[in-house]
């Protein structure tokens, strides 16, 4: 699905922006990046992993990145 690579890129960019402390990346400020992530999350197919949806809803973006990169083995929310 083409949404996953775009979502991964948006999440990674946001985390890098936050870590850099600049408040923006490629001309996009953090609120704009968050809006893009929300839009991509809404475009996910109904078959998308439930944990991915959970992480996006809870704004657990590093966990969402881990899941997209295959490093998350969680089957149920742990929060």
Query: What is the average per-residue pLDDT within 6-26?
Result: 89
Q: CA of 59: how far to CAs of 11, 27, 69, 78, in Å?
A: 10, 22, 17, 14
How many domains does the chain fold into? 1
Tens of pLDDT, residue by residue over 21-70, are 887 777 789 999 999 999 999 999 999 999 999 999 999 999 999 999 98
75, part of any domain:
no
Whether pLDDT at 74 is above 90: no
Which pLDDT score is estimated for 60? Answer: 96
| Residue 45 included in any domain | yes
Q: Please, which pLDDT band fits residue 3 given cuts at 50, 70 and 90?
A: confident
79 or 13, greater pLDDT: 13
Q: Is residue 52 part of a domain?
A: yes
Asked if residues 7 and 68 have their Cβ atoms less than 8 Å apart, the reply is: yes
């Amino acid at each position: 699905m083409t949404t996953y690579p775009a979502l991964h890129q948006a999440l990674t960019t946001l985390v890098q922006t936050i870590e850099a402390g600049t408040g923006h990346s490629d001309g996009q400020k953090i609120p704009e990046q968050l809006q893009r992530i929300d839009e991509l999350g809404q475009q996910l197919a109904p078959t998308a992993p439930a944990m991915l949806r959970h992480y996006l809803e809870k704004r657990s973006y590093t966990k969402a990145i881990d899941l997209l990169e295959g490093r998350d083995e969680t089957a149920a929310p742990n929060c």
